[in-house]
Amino acid sequence: MNTMKFLRKKCIVFSKRRIKSNYCTFTNNHLNETGSTGSSAEAARWPRRVVSALQPTGALHVGNYFGAVRRCVRLQRRGEPLVLFVADLHAHTAPQDPAELQRRSLETAAYLLASGVDAERGVLFLQSAVPAHARLCWLLACLATQARLAHLPQYRERAAGGDAPLGLLLYPVLQAADVLVYRATHVPVGADQLQHLQLTAQLVRTFHHRFGRLFPTPAPLLPDDGSDRIRSLRDPSKKMSKSDSDPKSRILLSDGDDLIRLKIQKAVTDFTPEVSFDPAARPGVSNLVTLHSLAADKLPEEALEEARGLSTAQYKRVVADALCGALRPVRERAQALLARPALLHELLRHGAA
């Protein structure tokens, strides 16, 4: 099929249960999170659709869970048409062992399903199984400039150590293709990812100027609960990260209760004994309050009320209890799914069909 004909198709049909372009539209009040497609005319033209993805580059941690996975589950349960995939192509910007990447991809899918993602109500698949991502990425790459891509801070940071692969430069272009190939109107992101979404908007404008209006301009869905600001347990000046060399810096979804309690006990705080929430002055303690509020599904003010009269050491036990209670069912369901790899492979194949 001619590429432009492919892109001009009115709907993207995957199977009889797939999301189509005439899917009923949803208004912004379906979300507590903010997001707008821009003008009312654009909102009317493009049915609401949310696209999100997770990279299988390492074991998922609580920052991934609260900041991405649980948000997607809640969007889906509110009736949002959700396209969700495991971004295994993105993982290749760093050297990968094929067998390990396949294992991580399956593990990521298992934790998505264990967290409550419903593959029957939405779409879940491996990015590499849908060639349209790479196809559109090439078209968009021909519209992007090297100077614009090299200016993005994440590229500058990762390329500072020496020669960077071309894939690292094109990483945000593939991100744009991931979103636009499904004509997404909204993308759940954190504040630190807004520049990549701004690049997507720029590519949409350039594409429209040359070829006509084929894509909506996707709007960000920004969290209002602090889930995009979870910090390292060992250095709260940094975000929690899969790549941190200190394993005690993060709580993995696969961690058992005893290990979760140990990591919270070892979390860096300060020398003030009482608990308060001040991310600038007390980032370590504030990070504990954020984790507690997210795990217990409370407002930070409610978490602070529960911490009243407790020392930081005592409060750490409360935080650990909340995290264990929230993560244990997810871990157990994921382990059960991982014991059935054939089922996971079939679900992912069905999602990409």
Question: Residue 240 falls within a domain, yes or no?
Answer: no
Same domain membership, residue 304 and residue 217: no
Question: For the chain, percent helix, then strand, then coil, each to nearest 5?
Answer: 50, 10, 40
More confident residue, 115 or 39: 115
Question: Residue 155 falls within a domain, yes or no?
Answer: yes
The single residue listed with the structure tokens 């978490």 is 303
Same domain membership, residue 266 and residue 119: no
pLDDT tens for 280-329 read 999 999 999 999 999 999 999 999 999 999 999 999 999 999 999 999 99
The whole-number pLDDT of residue 23 equals 29
Same domain membership, residue 260 and residue 192: no
Q: What length does the chain have? A: 353
Same domain membership, residue 110 and residue 215: yes
Query: 116: exposed, middle or buried (C-beta count within 10 Å: 0-12, 13-18, 19+)?
Result: middle
The whole-number pLDDT of residue 5 equals 53
Question: Residue 78 falls within a domain, yes or no?
Answer: yes
Name the CA dihedral angle for 156, 158, 160, 162, rounded to a multiple of 10 degrees.
-130
Confidence band (pLDDT; 50, 70, 90) for 10? Answer: very low
In the sheet with 123-126, reading across from the earlier edge strand, the strands are 123-126, 82-86, 50-54, 186-188, 219-221
Task: Specify whether the backbone of 278 is left (phi greater than 0), alpha (psi in -120 to 50) or beta.
Answer: beta
Which structural domain, as residue segments, surrounds residue 307? 247-338
Same domain membership, residue 119 and residue 254: no
- Provide the CATH number for the domain around residue 321: 1.10.240.10
d(CA 212, CA 205): 9
pLDDT tens for 121-143 read 888 999 999 999 999 999 999 99
pLDDT tens for 165-177 read 889 999 999 999 9
Mean pLDDT of the chain: 88
d(CA 108, CA 26): 28
Do residues 142 and 176 touch, judged by C-beta distance below 8 A? no
Question: Residue 232 falls within a domain, yes or no?
Answer: no
Residue 85 tokens, joined = 């995939």
Task: Among 3-12, 29-38, 248-257, name the one with the lowest average pLDDT.
Answer: 29-38
The whole-number pLDDT of residue 157 equals 76
Q: How many CA atoms lie within 13 A of 264 on its CB side?
A: 28
* Residue after which a domain boundary falls, among 199, 227, 255: 227
* Residue after which a domain boundary falls, among 227, 257, 274: 227
- The domain tally of the chain equals 2
Same domain membership, residue 203 and residue 56: yes
What percent of the chain shows pLDDT beyond 70? 88
pLDDT surpasses 50 at 27: no
Same domain membership, residue 308 and residue 217: no
Question: Residue 235 falls within a domain, yes or no?
Answer: no
- Provide the CATH number for the domain around residue 216: 3.40.50.620
> Can you give 260-278 as a three-state secondary structure string?
HHHHHHCCCCCCCCECCCC
* Residue after which a domain boundary falls, among 180, 197, 227: 227
Question: Residue 60 falls within a domain, yes or no?
Answer: yes
Same domain membership, residue 256 and residue 133: no
Do residues 222 and 33 touch, judged by C-beta distance below 8 A? yes
**Start-to-end CA span in the chain (Å):** 17
Task: Among 4-8, 30-34, 92-96, name the one with the lowest average pLDDT.
Answer: 30-34
The whole-number pLDDT of residue 162 equals 73
Question: Residue 219 falls within a domain, yes or no?
Answer: yes
pTM score, whole prediction: 0.87
pLDDT surpasses 90 at 13: no
The whole-number pLDDT of residue 41 equals 65
Same domain membership, residue 141 and residue 42: yes
Task: Among 41-55, 66-80, 314-328, name the one with the lowest average pLDDT.
Answer: 41-55
Tell me the average pLDDT across 82-86: 97
**Is the torsion defined by CA of 36, 37, 38, 39 positive or negative?**
negative
Same domain membership, residue 277 and residue 203: no
Same domain membership, residue 253 and residue 216: no
Distance (Å) of CA 237 to CA 72, 263, 283, 285? 27, 17, 7, 12
Show Cβ contacts of residue 314 under 8 Å, excluding neighbours closer than 6 positions: none
Question: Residue 239 falls within a domain, yes or no?
Answer: no
Torsions phi, psi of 39, nearest 5? Answer: -70, 155
Same domain membership, residue 300 and residue 220: no
More confident residue, 8 or 28: 8
Residue 33 tokens, joined = 């999170």
